[in-house]
């Protein structure tokens, strides 16, 4: 879901050629104004919503959890996580569809208004991911929770993100 904002910005930029509509301008910060987060060095800077988004996507794509995690789960617990991952996939598709609906604001709203609406949508979608995580974890035994959490924490070590400094606080939300 973290790609929604950049995709929308590209679409907004494509609409700037129309002389009939107000010009919507977004700027791309220079390289010196970016923060580069490397999960192999600072996994604590990778937001939970992003790590769990990746974990759920991996489960859907692979069709299962990693063997080391599966060994710690009962069949019912594994089914719970797979169901949450599938539900996450549906929620992500819904979020993307909602993002496309923001296109109606092109040429009618300022960049600031469109950005606010996009951020509101992103936060809602991130909260959905964390809610799925929480509901799933509640249904696991403590040792299964530990195994799943350790796997997600390991995923963070392979993640990287580049964020404009001015947007870092937003990127880390919700905490």
Question: pTM here?
Answer: 0.83
Helix (H) or strand (E) holding 50: helix 48-62
**Domain containing residue 67:** 4-171
Mean pLDDT within 6-10: 44
Q: What pLDDT digit, counting tens, does each position of 144-153 carry?
A: 999 999 999 9
Overall domain count for the chain: 1
């Amino acid at each position: 879901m973290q790609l929604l904002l950049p995709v929308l910005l590209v679409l907004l930029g494509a609409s700037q050629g129309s002389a009939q509509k107000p010009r919507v301008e977004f700027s791309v910060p220079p390289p010196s104004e970016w923060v580069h987060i490397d999960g192999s060095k600072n996994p604590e800077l990778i937001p939970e919503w992003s790590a769990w988004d990746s974990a759920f996507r991996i489960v859907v794509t692979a069709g299962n959890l990693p063997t080391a995690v599966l060994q710690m789960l009962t069949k019912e617990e594994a089914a719970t996580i797979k169901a949450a991952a599938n539900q996450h996939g549906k929620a992500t598709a819904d979020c993307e569809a909602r993002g496309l609906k923001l296109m109606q604001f092109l040429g009618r709203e300022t960049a600031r208004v469109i950005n606010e609406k996009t951020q509101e949508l992103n936060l809602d979608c991130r909260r959905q991911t964390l809610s799925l995580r929480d509901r799933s974890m509640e249904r696991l035994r403590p040792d299964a929770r530990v195994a799943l959490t350790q796997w997600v924490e390991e995923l963070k070590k392979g993640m990287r993100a580049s964020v404009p400094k001015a947007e870092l606080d937003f990127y880390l939300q919700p905490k």
